[in-house]
Amino acid sequence: MALKQVSFAKEKVVREFLVPDYYKNFQCKGGKCRDSCCVEWKVTIPMEQYFLLHGLKCKTSVKEKIDRAFRPLLNPTKERYAEIVHNYDGDCPLHKKDGYCLLHETCGEEVLPWVCRYYPRGPRIDLANEASCANSCERTLELLFENVNKLSFERKNLTFLMSKPKEDIPEDRKFLYIKIRDNMFSLLTNRDNPLHLRIIHLGKYLLTMRENSQINLDEIDFSFDLPECDINENHQILWSLLDLFNSKYRRLDEQLAQARSNYLVHDVVEIYNQNKKHLDETIKDNEIFFEKMLINDLFFKQFPFQNNFSVYDQYLALCGTYILLRYLTLNLMVDKNSIDYYIDILAKSFTVISHSEFDKLISSFMKRLEITDLANLSKILQM
C-alpha cells in the first residue's frame, strides 16, 4: 500500500478537500509562537524557486539578505536544490524579531518558498483530496486540545499550488484507502476501551486485512487478553529502544536525556507511578488528547499507504511513536503544570516524527528488539 506522495508545486489546484474540524480555525501565531518553525529547521527548496528568489527586484538591503539566505546544496537535485542558511543562533536570516517574515512582508506571499507558504498544512490529491496540519506546529495541537470531542472531518473548498500525481490511482485502491481510514478511526475513537487496547485492536484489524481486504469490522473477533504490565521489564525494554536513537536526532536527544535523569538514582516503579499520577492530575484529558493527536498524524500521513513501507511496519512505527511520546510526557511533565509545556514537548517531538525517516527507523529498532507481535506490543503500550 505504498504510493508516491504530493511533493513540489507545479500548478494551481482548486478542489473540495476533506479536512479536520480544526482546519478552518488555523492561523499562524507569528511572533507569539513559542518554538518557531523558522528556527533550526533544515528547509530545502527546489531549483526553480531558488532562481526565482535570486531574480527578485526589491530594495537592495532586502535583496542582499535574500541572496545570502539560500545556498545550493552540495549534491542538488531539481526538487532539493538549495537550503536556508541559518544565522549563528539557528534562526532564518529573514525571520524578523517580531516573528514575521521579511520576504513575505516585502515581496508578498506568492514568492515564499512553498514549504514556508503552506506549513503546517499538508494537501494530498492522490488517494483522496485531503488536507490537514502537522502536529509539529504548536498551534495545531492547541486547536486539537481545545475540546475533548472526537476529531471530525468536513469538506472545504481550497486552493493550492502543487504537483499532480504522475500516475493515476486505480479507483479500487482509492476506495480501499477510504475504507481502511474510516475503520481505523472508528477503532481508535472507541472510548469504551483504553487507548493502548484500541491500538492493539487496530493491529488486529490490519493483520486481518492482509488475508481479506474486504472484511468488515463486525466480522472480526477483537477479544484480547491483556498481559500484566511489568513496569521494571517495560522500562528496560524502553531504555534499550531509546538507546538505539542515541545521537540520531538532536531535538530528541535533548528531551530523552532530561527524561532519563528522573530514574538515575530512584526506584523505577515508584517514579513511574508518581509521574503518571502527576500527569493525570495536571492534564486530566491526556488520553483523549493523545487519541486526537495520533488520528491527526495518521490522516496527515495517509496511513497506512506511506511510501515504500509495509503496512505492518507502519503499524510498528505508530506503536513506537505512542510509546516514545508517552515516555516523554510522563517524565518531562514531572515538575510542570502547564498545558503549554505539554504541547511544547509533543510539538518538538513531532518535528522529528513528521519530518524525517523516523517511522522507518523506529519500526526497524522495534524489530531488532523483537517487539513486534501483539502480545509483546500490548505489554509496553500499557506504560
| Domain-located, residue 6 | no
Asked whether 136 and 355 are in contact (CB, 8 A), the reply is: yes
User: In this structure, are 362 and 220 located in the same domain?
Assistant: yes
The gap from C-alpha 182 to its chain's centroid, in whole angstroms, comes to 19
237 and 370 fall within a common domain: yes
Give the side-chain half-sphere CA count within 13 A for 322.
30
Same domain for 154 and 28: yes
pLDDT at 283 exceeding the cut of 50:
yes
Same domain, residue pair 213 and 358: yes
- Residue 202 domain-assigned (yes or no): no
Could you report how far apart the first and last alpha carbons of the chain are, in Å?
30
Same domain, 220 and 358: yes
3-state secondary structure of 17: strand
How many domains would you assign to the chain? 2
Q: Are 25 and 90 in contact (CB under 8 A)?
A: no
Dihedral sign (CA 365, 369, 374, 378): negative
**Final residue belonging to a domain, choices 144, 162, 180:** 162
Could you give the 3-state DSSP secondary structure of residue 112? coil
pLDDT of 277 strictly over 60: yes
In this structure, are residues 156 and 23 in contact, taking their beta carbons and an 8 Å threshold?
yes
Average pLDDT of every residue of the chain:
89
Please compute, for residue 256, the number of CA atoms within 13 A of its CA located in the half-sphere on the CB side.
19
What integer is the mean pLDDT of 255-278?
83
Whether 119 and 55 map to the same domain: the answer is: yes
Q: What is the pLDDT of residue 260?
A: 78
Asked, for residue 267, whether it belongs to a domain, the answer is: yes
Determine, yes or no, domain membership for 178: no
Name the range with the highest mean pLDDT among 10-14, 162-166, 213-217, 297-301.
297-301
In a domain, 117, yes or no: yes
Residue 91 lies in a domain: yes
Q: Are residues 42 and 154 in the same domain?
A: yes
| CA 162/CA 12 separation, integer angstroms | 6
382 and 196 in contact (C-beta within 8 Å)? yes
Q: How many of the other CB atoms lie within 10 Å of CB of 209?
A: 19
> Do the domain assignments include residue 254?
yes
> Would you say residue 128 has pLDDT above 90?
yes
pLDDT digits (tens, 9 = 90+) for 132-182: 999 999 999 999 999 999 999 999 999 998 877 777 889 999 999 999 999
| pLDDT-above-70 percentage for the chain | 96
Which cell numbers in the block locate residue 341?
A: 509545556
Q: What confidence score (pLDDT) does residue 340 get?
A: 97
Quote the crossing angle between the two packed helices 231-243 and 311-332, to the nearest 10°. Answer: 110
Q: Give yes or no: residues 217 and 337 share one domain.
A: yes
Cross-sheet strand order for the sheet of 70-72 = 44-45, 82-84, 70-72
Final residue of a structural domain among 162, 185, 201: 162
Pairing of strands 44-45, 82-84: antiparallel
Residues 6+ apart with CB under 8 A from 119: 37, 134, 137
228 located within any domain: yes
pLDDT tens-digit readout, 315-330 = 999 999 999 999 899 9
Residue 148 and residue 286 in one domain = no
CA distance 262 to 278: 14
The structure's pTM equals 0.91
Q: CB–CB of 66/54 below 8 Å?
A: yes
d(CA 52, CA 54): 6
Are 232 and 315 members of one domain?
yes
Task: Assess whether 149 and 261 both reside in one domain.
Answer: no
Domain of residue 360, residue span = 209-381
Q: How far out from the chain centre does Cα 193 lie?
A: 24
Q: Sheet of 153-162: strands edge to edge?
A: 121-124, 130-133, 11-20, 153-162
Residues 109 and 230 in one domain: no
